[in-house]
Amino acid sequence: MWYVINGTDTEESLERRLSVRAAHLERLQQLLNEGRLLLAGPYPAVDGNDPGPAGFTGSLIVAEFDSLEDAQAWANADPYVAAGVYTGVSVKPFRKVLP
């Protein structure tokens, strides 16, 4: 089943985010290689593709897992969680309808 993982950044998270971004992307690439990643990306803090020093307010990941518990465990092990980028992460089941 698909699950939505929604992380909300702490204030002033950009430096911490950048310090572990490669490890975060490596985990997403693994999901992609396994055919389990539908989409992933950050929420820019300002209206634009490159928010510069304004940074980001969070991230959205939609990926396939065997269970809600597996999705939650994967989300909890994210480098952004360990580095204190996120104030919290929610994980919810998702039913893809379109396209």
Count Cβ neighbours within 10 Å for each residue of 33-65 and write b for 16 or more, e otherwise.
Answer: eeeebbebebeebeeeeebeeebbbbbebbbbb
Cβ-in-10-Å burial (0-12, 13-18, 19+) of 32 comes to middle
pLDDT, tens digit, for every residue of 57-87? 999 999 999 999 999 999 999 999 999 999 9
Specify the pTM.
0.95
Mean pLDDT of 21-38: 98
